[in-house]
A and B are shown apart, each in its own frame.
Chain A
Amino acid sequence: MDSTKKKKLGQYSAHIVLIVASFFFLIPFLWMVSTSLKPLTQIFTFPPEWIPEPVMWSNYIDSMTYIPFFTYLKNTIIITVLSTLGAVISCPLVAYSFAKLRWPGRNILFIITIGVMMIPGQVTMIPLFLLFEKLGMVGTHYPLIIPAFFGVPFYIFLLRQFFMGLPDSLREAARMDGAGEFRIYWQIMLPLAKPAVLAVGLFQFMASWTDFIGPLLYLTDSLQYTLSLGLQQFQSQRGSEWGLMMAVSTMMTLPIIVLFFFLQKTFIRGITFSGIK
C-alpha cells in the first residue's frame, strides 16, 4: 500500500471513530428536543420512538403557563446580568491594582487571595446565610448579586495574570502626558484587557445562570425563583410530565448555546487560560 492510500484510510477510520463517539454526546440532546415535542401518549411507548407524531409545539406554550416561566426567566436574567456586571466592574479593578500598582501588603494579600480559592463554599455557606438573614436579605435576590461586586478570587487571579503581561511603558507614557491613575486604568489598561474581562464575564454569566444551591438557600418565595430552582421544583412536583420538563430544559439551555456560538473563541481561551497559565 502506498502512503497516500494509507493516509486516506487513516482519515476514513478517524472519521468513523469520531462520528461514533460524537453520537454518544449528541444523542441525549436530540432526545431532549425530541421528547419536548412529543404528545403524552408517544412519550410512554416502549421501545422509544424518535420522531414526534404529531409535533406538539404546544408543549412549549403549556410549560410556560404550567409554571410561571417568564417570572423565573426575568428573575434569572436580573440575577445573572447584575452579578456579571458586578464581577466585570470589581475584578479588573482589583486585579490591576495587584498587577501594576504599589502599596504595602499587596503581595501578602495576593497570596491570601489564591489561598481563599481553596476554601470549599460549604465552609462559609452557613455564616454567610446568617449574615444575610441578619441583614433581612433572605428571600430577596441580593445575596445572589451583592458578593460579585466585591470581587471573586478566581477571576481576580486570572485578570491579574493578564495585566502582568501588559507592558509598563504604556503606563509610563500616559503618566508623562499627565493622565491620572483612573484615566490610565479606564482608557488604556482596561481596553487592552478586554479579552480577559470578556472571559470573566462569560464565566460569571454561566455560573449565575446555572446556579442551583444559591437560589435554593436564599429564595423562599416561588415568585422569586430562578429557572434552575423552578425546574427542580417542577420536577419534584410533577415528575412524569416529561414533555413539558424537556421543553423547559431546552429553553434554559438554549441561551447558553447561542452565547457559545457567538463567543466560542472566548470560551475556549478562557478555559485553557485557567488550566494552563
Chain B
Amino acid sequence: MNGNAQKLDPIKSSETPYEKQLKLVPKKKKSKWSNYKYGILFASPWILGLLIFYAIPLFSSIYFSFTTYSILQPGEFVGLQNYKDLLSDSLFWKSVYNTVYFAVFFVPLSIIFGVALAMMLNMKVKGMAIYRTIFFLPTLVPHVALAVLWMWLLNPGFGLVNGVLNTFGIEGPAWLGSVTWSKPSLIIMSLWGIGQAVIIYLAGLGDIPEDYYDAAKVDGANWYQKMRHITLPLLTPVIFFNLVMGIIAAFQQFTLPYTLTQGQGTPANSLTFYVMYLYDNGFKFFKMGYASAMAWILFVIIMALTALVFITSKRWVHYQGK
C-alpha cells in the first residue's frame, strides 16, 4: 500500500475556474455549514467507522498491552511487564523464528518466480489468454480449501507429490509431518498462489515502451542484455510494490498454518507462526494484554521493515522518466 502513497498525485484543490470566477464577484455570504454540509454528510459513515473500528481500538490496544486484561477479569496495569515476559518466552521466539524463516525464503522466491512467470506470460504466442487464466486460477481457491488440498497432495503415504517422486525412484519426505520439511511445504503451497503478483508484474511489463527494445535491437543487444538493462530496471517500481506487500502478508500468515495443523503448530511447533501464537494467547488462554503486546511488536516490525525497504528503494527503484 505504501507504493501507492508515494506515487499519489498531490491532493488537488477541487476549485474550478468557475468557482474562482464566482469568488471575484462579491456575493451574499452563505453560512459555512451549508457549503460543507454535503461533504461531511457523504463522508460521515467513514468518519464514524474510522473512530469506532480503527482509532478507538488502536488506542485501547496500546493500553491493553500494558495490562493483564482478559475477558474473564478486568486486569491491572503492569507497565512493560508483558513486553518483558515476551522477551523470555521461548515459544514467542520460536514463532518469530518460524515467521522470519518463511518471509526470508518466500518473499524473494515469490519475486523471482513471479517475474519469471510474468515474462513467460508476456511472450507473443497464440492462446496466451488461456495460459494466463491457468496461472491465475490458484489464487481463487479459498485459503482453507488450499490448505486442505495441499495436505492431501503432500500426504506422505498416499499423496500425489510423493507418488510422482516415487516414480523417479526418490523417496519423498514426510512433508508437513517433518520438522525440517513443514516450512518448505508451506512455502511451496504459497508459491502456487502467486497469480495475483504475476498480474501486477504483467501490467508493469506492459507499461515498458516498445521503443526501448527496438533501440536495443538496433544496437545488437541480445536477450540477456535486454532483460538486464531494460526489463528489470523498469520493472523495479512493481517489484518494490510486491516486495512491500509480500513482507506484510508473510508476517501476518495465519489461515494456512492454522488449518494445516488444526491450530497446533505441529510438528514440534515448527508451524507455530507469530499471529497463531498471538491468537492462542488472546483467545485460547485469554491473555489479552499479552496478545496486545504481541500485536504492537508485530506492528513495529512491519513498520520498520517497510521503512527499510522505502529507504533502500532510492538506490534500486527506477521510475520511468526520471
Contacts and interface: CB of A to CB of B under 8 A. Distances in A.
The answer to whether A and B come from one shared complex is yes
Interface of A: 11, 14-15, 17-18, 21-22, 24-29, 31-32, 35, 43-48, 90, 93-94, 96-104, 106-107, 109-110, 112-114, 116-131, 133, 147, 149-151, 153-154, 156-157, 164, 168, 172, 181-182, 185, 206, 209-210, 212-213, 216-217, 227-229, 231-232, 235-236, 242, 245-246, 248-249, 252-253, 256-257, 260, 264, 268, 271-272, 274-277
B121 to A, nearest CB: 8
Contacts of A114: 1, 4-5, 8
B291 interface: yes
Given A22-B131, A28-B192, A97 B144 contact: no
A68 B152 CA distance: 23
A272 B203 contact: yes
B306 A118 contact: yes
B275 A256 contact: no
A212 B255 contact: yes
Given A18-B121, A150-B45, 16 more contacts: A32-B152, A47-B167, A93-B42, A94-B46, A96-B42, A97-B40, A113-B46, A120-B302, A150-B52, A212-B258, A228-B142, A231-B148, A253-B141, A275-B3, A276-B200, A277-B7
A110 B11 CA distance: 9
B261 to A, nearest CB: 9
Interface residues of B, number: 106
Interface stretch (B84-92, B102-110, B154-162, B209-217): B154-162
B275 A249 contact: no
Given A93-B45, A252-B142, A253-B142, A122 B275 contact: yes
B298 interface: yes
A124 B141 CA distance: 27
Contact of B153 (A31, A104, A118, A131): A31
* Chain B binding surface, main DSSP class: helix
Interface stretch (B58-66, B93-101, B226-234): B58-66
Nearest to A17: B120
Contacts of A94: 42-43, 45-46
Interface string B115-149: 00100110101100001011111101111110011
B140 A253 contact: yes
B43 A103 contact: yes
Contact of A122 (B153, B207, B252): B252
A106 B39 contact: yes
Contacts of A116: 50, 54
A246 B16 CA distance: 58
A258 B164 CA distance: 31
B259 interface: yes
B267 interface: no
Contacts of B148: 231, 235, 245-246, 249
B47 interface: yes
A89 B252 CA distance: 29
